[in-house]
A and B are shown apart, each in its own frame.
Chain A
Amino acid sequence: MLDGETMQHELEREFENEFEGEGNYEYESEYEGEEFFGSLMQGSGGVLGGMGEGEYEYENEYESEAFFKKIRGFARKLAPILKQVAPIAARAVGTAIGGPGVGQAVGAIAGQLARESEYEYESEYEFEGEFESEYESESAPQPEALAEALAAMASQVQSEAEAEAYTGAFTARIIPIKSHSMRQISPKLVKGAATLTRTLRKSPATRPLVKTVPTIVARASNTLARQAAQGKPIAPQTAARVMAAETRKVLGNPMTCAKTLMRSSGAASKVNKPLPAKTQKRRRQPVYE
């Protein structure tokens, strides 16, 4: 099992490689903020303390202050990207599930919150461990290891179609089918997750963020399932708003995103079997005549 330091190094390496590349990206015009992909490479540091939401989900070895500082450092690197990708992703998800009207509305909210969040993070930075949203008052749902492994595959494969197949698979694993309402809405959630994956995969800089999609789906499913359990029908617009909100919460908060990525990598590594060690073969010594 990877320790926190190793995981953090691996994740940083994954994002650093993307940061250092040249930004010639091709994007579809339907996604606003094409310019943001170029600006991703400008290396804007962004002041971001990144106070998370008070989740301490790791084992004892991870709860050290040193480890928390590492997460903060990682979150600081993520911040410039997340600030710009969160509204776009939220809008894409909202549109995919609820239609253009919902997408535009949630995107506007997400954009406004993203602009406000810079100040929010700076002020909350001092209040470690005290901030909790209503969703984090209970333990946040965590996707199972296989779902995280499938998400890791979705972030790595070259083919868009194959990535979406993995996305559909882990989404189906996560969604609890316990009521008629959840049964009705599950295809919409699959479509939303696929759209989110497609959006994040557009740029090499944001492709690793696909690993956060299982957590987003798990949170959204949990909220919708609670609503369904109360006997309330779930309209597509409701599902769109919930999923867009969870997208914004995870991608819009660098600390949450950093912790999600590290947990995802840890869980996925448990599923992936280690490669067999290469056996050292003796080379034949050349014969010189």
Chain B
Amino acid sequence: MFEYELETNLDREYECEFASEYESEEFLPFLVPLLAKAAPMAIKAIGGLIGGRRRNRQREFEFEYEGEYESQYESEYEGDPFIGNLLQGLGSAIGLGEGEYEYEYEFESEFESPSSSSSRSSSMSEYEMIMENLAYRAAHSESEAESEAFLGALVPMATRLIPSAAKAISAVAPQLIQGVAKMGRALYNSPSTRQLLQTVPEVLKGTVKTLAHQVAQGKPLSQKTAVRALAANTAKVLDNPKKVNTVMKKSHKVQHQLQPKINGKCRCA
């Protein structure tokens, strides 16, 4: 078993409160089936915001009964065609390296710029660090409602990362908040997927960049555009186990930067 799972006094020197098995290379094979379940769940939850009229009633029904009827609709999705295409494309990145993954959606090819694809800068802005901390708290909060509060706080933080487009993106902030809330609820429900909430900052950063690119091109931002961008970036992160692994490692490092005093040693990468 992995050392992170041992909670005996003998292993105290290796305990780290911020560590997660998801950042372990050995855990990757176990991460694949988990993401195969989590990614479509999260994307469908987001897609429910822009489903068709009939699906909206069904989604409301679903929402009202807290997912009691969700299993019936799991295999069939007849909502937004963009979301449908995303769901069909899931699984193509599993096993592939980063950069080999492509979605068939209008934003991706226009967005990919040389600087963004190769940027692995270790320096993070203050807002990014706070986002990582908020996402960590969301993943480890006592209740779903509290988790949602932390997730909701991520949206304005992400908006501030690109000041030039902040005003335009703020106009669709309520839809992004709803989308993040729905995704958060879907991932929080299961203890095995709860830790994936730590990937939400990465999802939101990508979403904001996508929307900023749209703004820079002079295209108007609509509610549907924002939700689709969020869904696409969710797929981009959650459908890629190596990306999840990298994001979790980064989150772990940031927690230590924000809270340098720890009780024991940490096996940091």
A144 and B159 alpha carbons, distance in the complex (Å)? 15
- B85-127: contact bitstring with A at CB < 8 Å (1 yes, 0 no)? 0000000000000000000000000000000000000000011
| In the complex, B256 has a CB within 8 A of chain A | no
| In the complex, A109 has a CB within 8 A of chain B | no
CB distance from A140 to the nearest CB of B (A): 21
Q: Are A171 and B181 closer than 8 Å at their CB atoms?
A: no
- Known interface pairs A164-B152, A165-B180, A190-B149; 15 further A-B residue pairs with C-beta atoms within 8 A, sorted by A's residue number: A146-B173, A150-B177, A161-B145, A161-B148, A162-B178, A164-B145, A164-B149, A165-B148, A165-B177, A165-B178, A165-B181, A169-B156, A169-B173, A187-B137, A194-B149
With known contacts A159-B63, A172-B156, A187-B133, A164–B146 Cβ distance under 8 A: yes
| In the complex, B38 has a CB within 8 A of chain A | no
Chain B interface residues toward A at CB < 8 A: 63, 126-127, 129-130, 133-134, 137, 144-146, 148-157, 170, 173-174, 177-178, 180-181, 184-185, 258
- A26-51: contact bitstring with B at CB < 8 Å (1 yes, 0 no)? 00000000000000000000000000
A162 and B66 alpha carbons, distance in the complex (Å)? 13
* A144 nearest CB neighbor, chain B only: B170
Residues on B with beta carbons closer than 8 Å to the beta carbon of A193: 149
CB distance from B225 to the nearest CB of A (A): 17
| In the complex, A52 has a CB within 8 A of chain B | no
Q: Are A168 and B151 closer than 8 Å at their CB atoms?
A: yes
Residues on B with beta carbons closer than 8 Å to the beta carbon of A166: 152, 174, 177
Q: Are B126 and A167 closer than 8 Å at their CB atoms?
A: no
Residues on A with beta carbons closer than 8 Å to the beta carbon of B126: 177, 183
Residues on A with beta carbons closer than 8 Å to the beta carbon of B146: 164, 191, 194
CB distance from A208 to the nearest CB of B (A): 19
| In the complex, A184 has a CB within 8 A of chain B | yes
A122 and B111 alpha carbons, distance in the complex (Å)? 63
Chain A 122-172 interface residues, beta-carbon cutoff 8 Å to B: 146, 149-150, 153, 159-162, 164-172
Residues on B with beta carbons closer than 8 Å to the beta carbon of A76: none
A146 and B146 alpha carbons, distance in the complex (Å)? 22
Chain A interface residues toward B at CB < 8 A: 146, 149-150, 153, 159-162, 164-173, 177, 183-184, 186-187, 190-191, 193-194, 198
A193 and B146 alpha carbons, distance in the complex (Å)? 10
Q: Are B129 and A183 closer than 8 Å at their CB atoms?
A: yes
A167 and B146 alpha carbons, distance in the complex (Å)? 10
Q: Are B148 and A162 closer than 8 Å at their CB atoms?
A: yes
* A157 nearest CB neighbor, chain B only: B178
CB distance from B119 to the nearest CB of A (A): 23
Q: Are B173 and A172 closer than 8 Å at their CB atoms?
A: no
A164 and B143 alpha carbons, distance in the complex (Å)? 11
Q: Are A161 and B181 closer than 8 Å at their CB atoms?
A: yes
Residues on A with beta carbons closer than 8 Å to the beta carbon of B157: 172
With known contacts A169-B173, A172-B157, A190-B153, A184–B258 Cβ distance under 8 A: yes
Q: Are B152 and A168 closer than 8 Å at their CB atoms?
A: yes
A165 and B126 alpha carbons, distance in the complex (Å)? 21
Q: Are A169 and B133 closer than 8 Å at their CB atoms?
A: no
Instruction: Please provide the 3 A-B residue pairs with the shortest distance between their CB atoms, ordered closest to farther.
Output: A168-B152, A165-B152, A194-B149
**Contacting residue for A169 out of B63, B155, B184, CB 8 A:** B155
CB distance from A71 to the nearest CB of B (A): 29
A56 and B222 alpha carbons, distance in the complex (Å)? 38
CB distance from A220 to the nearest CB of B (A): 15
Q: Are A168 and B185 closer than 8 Å at their CB atoms?
A: no
5 contacts between A and B (CB under 8 A): A164-B149, A165-B151, A173-B156, A190-B150, A190-B153
Residues on B with beta carbons closer than 8 Å to the beta carbon of A159: 63
A177 and B157 alpha carbons, distance in the complex (Å)? 10
With known contacts A146-B173, A169-B153, A194-B145, A162–B181 Cβ distance under 8 A: yes
